[in-house]
Structure formats: C-alpha cells, structure tokens
Amino acid sequence: MKESLKRPLPGRDNLKETEKQKMPSLFVCKKCRKFLQAARLCTLPALFVCASLTVHAQAGAAPAGNPHQTVTLVGAGDIATCKHIESAKATAKLIEGIPGTVFAAGDLAYEKGSSEEFKDCYDPAWGAFKDRTKPALGNHEYGDHRAAGYFQYWGAQAGPEDKGYYSYDLGNWHVIVLNTNCNIKAMGGCGQGSPQETWLREDLAKHPTSCILAYGHHPLFSSGLFKKHALHPELRPFWEDLYAAHADLFLAGHEHSYERFAPQDLDGKRDPAHGIREIVVGTGGKSHDPLGMPTPNSEVREWKTYGVLKLTLSPGEYHWEFIPVEGSQFQDSGDGVCHNAPSSTD
C-alpha cells in the first residue's frame, strides 16, 4: 500500500488557521469525516457523498421558524371604520414599511364586522398585508351572526370556524391567539374546564421551553374610564394558565388607547420575576377612548394617538416600540427578558 494511503486523514485541529479556511467543508461535516476515516480513502465518489451530506445539513440548519432567529410582530386592535377610514390607512402605512408578522387584535371592521365592512372598510386599509396577518376576534365581529363576515374574510387564517382561537410559532416564541368573547354561547365560556381553557392548557404544556406571548381583544387590566367596559375578570382562568406557563406578554385592544403595564400577577401585584406584561394597543384607527385614574402598575398611558406596536422577539428577550402615525409625537419603547429563557449555567 502506498504511504499516502496509510496516513490518517489530517484533523482540522492540526491545521493552521489560514489552512482551515481553505479546506473544503467536508471537515465541518462529522459524518463525512467518519466516512472517510473508515474508508481510509478520499476518492472522487467519496467527495461527492460528502458534498451532498454537507449541502443537506446546511439547508436544514435554518428552517422556517428557526428558534435562534429574531422575528418581528407588529399590529394593533380597533382598526377600521368607513366613517373615517383615513385613520386606519395611516396606521396601515406604518405596517407597510415593517416586515414580519402582523397581529390584528379584534374589532377590525366596524360597526358589525360584516362581509361588506371587511371589503369596504378593513381591506382598503390593512388588506395590503392580509397574507401575513394573524387576526383575533373582537366583540364587534359578533355583530354579524356567529362572526360570519370575519370567518369568510380570513378563512383558515382565523383558526377553526366558530372557535377563533389558535396558536403559532415565531422563532423561539410561541404565540397564542385567544377568543376573549366569553359571553358567546357557542364558545362555552372562558371558565376553567371550558373548551378554550382546556385547549389553552394543553397547548401551553406542549411548549415548556418557549417564550410565550398571547393576544386577544379584551384586557384583564386597564385604566379605562368606564370600568365595565375596561375590566374583564372573566379572563382570569386564561391568565392563570398563562402565568403557570411563565408567559411573558399579553396584548389586547378594546380600549381605544395605549397602555403598558409592568409585569404583574393575576391579582395585579407587581411581579418582575414571573409576572405577565400586558400592553393595551387599541390604537388601530377607529377612535380614541379617554382613560381614567391610573390602575396600579400602569407605567405608560396615552389615549390621543393612533399607531402600532412593534415587537422584536429574540431568543430569551423582547423589545417593544409604539410607533405613532405621521404627525404625532408620542412614543414608548423598552426591553424585557423571557421567563423561560435558559440560564447562563444551562
């Protein structure tokens, strides 16, 4: 046997740095190296096998929904009315310049969410990015019987018909869309053991290591002036499940204003270690609702500005930014850490 065939294949660790950069990718592929070491022969067919394995590994390294990537979620609730559609078009203009997934947090087409209102009011404004929008049901959608106009407009994007709740993944984040219209008989309520609460609990159990974000139309906490409209304690069972799963964010609309809360527990007590940060962003374009006295842990409030909330979701952390429509000055931004983020010792 020739001397050259007796030599073991050179290890990458024995090469100088400049030589490593020049070596083919077969030294990156462990399967290829083991194959060649076993054969003790670097023939042309073997190189083709290595190249094939290496390309396959690289192609699968960054699939859609890659948990290591940073993603964008942007949107608002309480959006379009034909009475003054220009406000909704102004917020739509903001989103058109922001790539990523769009959330629409309910009350999308006023006044009744009919097929005509979705076609004539919502679609001319936010319809430009319909294909990348993940909608949630508001109470005005049920102005049309069983929210028929909503489900007709969105199709499969809206989740199972007559339910309207579903979930999806964005990078390392698991996003849950809730139907917070607990008074709709077909929903079976929002109490513990209800169909939606059972689904939520089971869905969360499947994602124990994901960062968790949920959104729906109604908030649990709000400084809204009219408390019967602003506060929704019937959502507490959902929050119990989210809190137990170490959820990070809850987005809502319903109040036509912007309000950001500190992370807090179900009783409204500040809880930076385990609490959920709620952000109310009913600023999509419909109208403005005045706010009352600040609710405990309410950090920022504004009710005279239309705009959208942009979330940058990274593995283990998030950044929020409220972006106002052209001509408005109010802004809000900050950062948070995901509760389910691995520790530095993991």
Residue 316 has pLDDT above 50, yes or no: yes
pLDDT in tens, 252-294: 999 999 999 999 999 999 999 999 999 999 999 999 999 999 9
Q: Is 217 left (phi over 0), alpha (psi -120 to 50) or beta?
A: alpha
Residue 310 has pLDDT above 80, yes or no: yes
Higher pLDDT, 322 or 28: 322
The residue-averaged pLDDT of 209-224 equals: 96
C-alpha–C-alpha distance, residues 122 and 112, integer Å: 12
Higher pLDDT, 257 or 343: 257
pLDDT value, residue 57:
28
Q: How confident is the model at residue 187 (pLDDT cuts 50, 70, 90)?
A: confident
- Mean model confidence pLDDT for the chain: 84
Residue 344 has pLDDT above 80, yes or no: no
The top-scoring range by mean pLDDT among 10-14, 78-82, 142-146 is 78-82
Handedness of CA 38, 42, 47, 48 (dihedral sign): negative
pLDDT value, residue 185:
86
| Strand-pair category, 101-105 with 71-76 | parallel
pLDDT in tens, 236-250: 999 999 999 999 999
pLDDT in tens, 99-134: 999 999 999 999 999 999 999 999 999 999 999 999
C-alpha–C-alpha distance, residues 306 and 325, integer Å: 6
C-alpha–C-alpha distance, residues 240 and 296, integer Å: 19
Q: Tell whether omega for the bond before 321 is within 30 degrees of 0, i.e. cis.
A: no
Fold of the 71-337 domain? Purple Acid Phosphatase; chain A, domain 2 (3.60.21)
pLDDT value, residue 13:
39
Range(s) for CATH 3.60.21.10 in the chain?
A: 71-337
